[in-house]
Amino acid sequence: MNETRLLAGRDLAMGAEGIAEHVRRLGRLPAAGKSLIDLLARSGLTGRGGAAYPVGLKWRSVAAESHGSAVIVVNGAEGEPHSKKDRLLMTTRPHLILDGAFLAAAALRARQVILYIGEEHYAARQSMSRALAERTAEERRLVRIVAAPARYVAGNSSAAVHLINAGIATPTTTPPSSHERGVDGAPTLVQNVETLAHIAMIARIGQATGTVLITMAGGVNRPGVLEVKTGTTVGEAVALAGGAPEPAQAVLVGGYFGQWIEATQAWALPVDPEALRAHGLTLGCGVIGVLPASRCAVCEVTGIMRYLANESSAQCGPCFFGLRALADACTRIAQRGTDPNDLLRLQRWASEVRGRGGCHHPDGAVMFLQSALKTFAGEFSRHPAHVRRSA
C-alpha cells in the first residue's frame, strides 16, 4: 500500500475525512502496548512540533512515571505565524490525529486526553470536535478540548500544561518537565498533532511514512502545506509550490526558530529532520520561507526580531530585555543605517542571551538572528538607512 502518506485519501478540498472513510482506508485502530513504544523508538520518529525530540524516548519517560494517571495533550496550538500544517491536518484528517492520541493513551495508560487547539483556529476546533463525536463513547469520555491563546509561546509544552492547570499560557521552569509533573501534577505527554498522525500510520505500517508536512511561505507562487518525502530538496519543494516568481536570495529553514541559508546552498538541502541536524540546522515546525532577492534582508530580519521580542512572556530578564535590545539594534541598523557599535552589541548580546531563559524562546530567537548575521553579513555591515517599508 504505497498510499502511506498522511494526506492520502480523498481530495483535501472536500474537508474532513469521516470515521467510516478513515477506517475503510486504513483499518481499525491497531492495538497499542509496550511493543508500540519500542516500534516508535526503532522508527526514529522525532517530534514535528519544533523541538524534534525523539518520540520513543519521550514516551518511555512518560511511561516510566505513569501508573495509569498519565495525561495526553494533543498540541495543535500552532503559534508559528506562517505554519499551516497542523490546521490542515486537523481540518482534513482528524481521525489520524485522534488515532495517535488514543494509541498514546493506551500505551501510556493515560486517563485523560486534552485537545489543545488554537483559539482562533475555528475550523480546526470544529473539525476535531465533529470527529470526536464519531468516536466510541469510551474514547469520547477521555477527551476534552482546551483553547490555546494565539501567542507564540502558548504552544510550548510547559505553557500548554500551565494553561490547562492554571489558565495562564506562560512557560514554567523545567525541571520538573511535563513528563514528570504536568497536567494536575500527573506525568503528561505533550505531542504535536502531526507527530500523532505519523504515530497512527507507524502503528499500522510498522515503519515511518518517510514523509513530512512542510509549509512553503514567502516568495513562492503557491504558498501552503506540502507533504514531501524526506529526501526532497528545498529546491524541489519550491518547484512543488509553483516555483519562485523571482530569484531568491536566501531561505529561512524552520520558521522563526530556524536559520537563514543562502539560496543556492539552501536549494540543495534535503527536507529531512535528521539530515538537517547533521548540517547544524533544524526543520523545526516545518516552515520553509523563501526570501526574494528584491526584499531587504535586514528589514525582514528586523521585523521578525521585533515580533519575537514582543512574544517574550516577560518572565525572565535576559529574554525580555535581551530580545528587545537586539530588536532595537536591528531597527536602528534598518532605519538609520549600520553603526559598527550596533553590530558589536548584536554579537555580544546574542551570545549573552542564549541559554539564559526559562524556556527556549530566547535560544530560538538568538539562533535565528545569529544565522541572519552570518548569511546577511554584507547587508548588515553596509546597510543604508531604509525608512520602514511594508512588514
Partner 1 sequence: MTKRFELRVDRIKCDGRGLCAEILPERIRLDDWGYPIIAEGPIPDHLLPLAQRVVEDCPVLALGLRRVESRTRSSR
Partner 2 sequence: MSTTVLWYATRGAGAVSLILLSSVVVLGILSALRVQAAGWPRFLTTGLHRNLALMTLVFLALHIVTAVVDPFTHLGWLTAVVPFSSYYRTFWLGLGTIAFELLLAIVVTSLARPWLGHATWRLVHWLTYASWPIAVIHGLGTGTDTWSAWLFVLTALCVGAVLAAVAYRLMADSPDPLAEPRSVFQAAVERREPR
Kindly calculate the radius of gyration of the chain based on its CA atoms and give it in whole angstroms. Answer: 21
| Comparison of 169 and 271: residue with beta carbon closer to partner 2 | 169
Q: Is the distance from CB of 91 to CB of 127 less than 8 angstroms?
A: yes
Instruction: Note whether 343 binds partner 1 by CB under 8 A.
Output: no
Q: Is the distance from CB of 80 to CB of 285 less than 8 angstroms?
A: yes
Instruction: Note whether 356 binds partner 1 by CB under 8 A.
Output: yes
DSSP code, position 182: -
Q: Is the distance from CB of 320 to CB of 361 less than 8 angstroms?
A: no
CB of 333 to partner 1, least distance (A): 18
Axis crossing angle, helix 34-43 with helix 94-107, rounded to the nearest 10:
120
> Binding partner 1 by CB under 8 A: which of 19, 318, 343, 363?
318
One-letter amino acid at 256 equals Y
φ, ψ for residue 290 (rounded to 5)?
-95, 125
Q: Which stretch binds partner 1 (CB under 8 A): 243-251, 266-274, 284-292, 354-362?
A: 354-362
CB of 315 to partner 2, least distance (A): 6
> Binding partner 1 by CB under 8 A: which of 210, 352, 374, 388?
352
> Binding partner 1 by CB under 8 A: which of 126, 315, 335, 370?
315
| Comparison of 34 and 144: residue with beta carbon closer to partner 2 | 144
Instruction: Note whether 75 binds partner 2 by CB under 8 A.
Output: no
Residues 103-122 that bind partner 2 (CB under 8 A): 119
Q: Which stretch binds partner 1 (CB under 8 A): 117-125, 196-204, 349-357, 378-386?
A: 349-357
Instruction: Note whether 230 binds partner 2 by CB under 8 A.
Output: no
Q: Is the distance from CB of 108 to CB of 61 less than 8 angstroms?
A: no
Q: Is the distance from CB of 187 to CB of 70 less than 8 angstroms?
A: yes
CB of 118 to partner 2, least distance (A): 12
Query: Which CB contacts under 8 angstroms, 24+ apart, belong to 293-297?
Result: 293/246, 293/247, 293/248, 293/249, 294/246, 295/219, 295/249, 296/334, 296/379, 296/383, 296/386, 296/389, 297/249, 297/250, 297/260, 297/372, 297/375, 297/376, 297/379
- The Cβ-side half-sphere exposure at 105, using a 13 Å CA radius, reads 22
| Comparison of 247 and 317: residue with beta carbon closer to partner 1 | 317
Q: Which does 249 bind (CB under 5 to 8 A by kind): partner 1, partner 2, none?
A: none
DSSP code, position 189: E
Grid cell listed for 209: 511514512
Instruction: Note whether 177 binds partner 1 by CB under 8 A.
Output: no
Q: Which does 149 bind (CB under 5 to 8 A by kind): partner 1, partner 2, none?
A: partner 2
Q: Which does 166 bind (CB under 5 to 8 A by kind): partner 1, partner 2, none?
A: partner 2
Instruction: Note whether 356 binds partner 2 by CB under 8 A.
Output: no
Give the residue among 190, 193, 172 at the shortest CA–CA distance from 96: 193
Provide the mask over 357-376, with x wherever binding to partner 1 is found by CB under 8 A and - wherever it is not: xx------------------
Q: Which does 337 bind (CB under 5 to 8 A by kind): partner 2, partner 1, none?
A: none
Instruction: Note whether 161 binds partner 2 by CB under 8 A.
Output: no
Residues that bind partner 1 (CB under 8 A): 171-173, 315-319, 321-322, 325, 349, 352-353, 356-358
Q: Which residues are at the interface with partner 2 (CB under 8 A)?
A: 119, 147, 149, 151, 153-154, 159, 163, 166-170, 312-317, 320-321
